[in-house]
Amino acid sequence: MTLKKCTKCKKNITKKAPELECSRCDNILHADPTYIAKLVRDFTREVKKAVREEMKNLEKSLEFLSPQILNMEQSIKSQDTKIKNLEDETKTYQIKYKS
C-alpha cells in the first residue's frame, strides 16, 4: 500500500493527520484548519462565479421574455373584452327576441 502525500506540504497522510481529497482535481491535503479555510475560500469563489454566470443567463432570458409576456397579457385583456362584449350582445339579443 502506497502512502498518500499532502499536495501542499508533501508529508505523508496518516491516521493522526487525516486527509481531504478534492474530487475535481484529486489534490490531497491534510485536514488542517488552514487548508480547510483555503478550500472553503476557493469553493466560495467558484460558487460565486457560477452563480454570477447563471444570473447573467437568467437576465438575458428575462429580457427576451418580458416583452412577450406583456404582449400576451395585452392580448388576453383584449380577448376578455371581446368575450364580454359578445356575452352582452347575446344577452341583449336574447332579451330583445324573447319578448
What distance in Å separates the CA atoms of residue 81 and residue 64, rounded to the nearest whole number?
A: 27
Percent of the chain surpassing pLDDT 90: 44
Per-residue confidence (pLDDT) for residue 78, from 0 to 100: 95
pTM of the model: 0.48
- 27 within 8 A of 5, measured Cβ to Cβ: no
In angstroms, the CA 19 to CA 38 distance is 14
Give the C-alpha separation, 59 to 53, whole Å.
10
pLDDT at 99 over 80: no
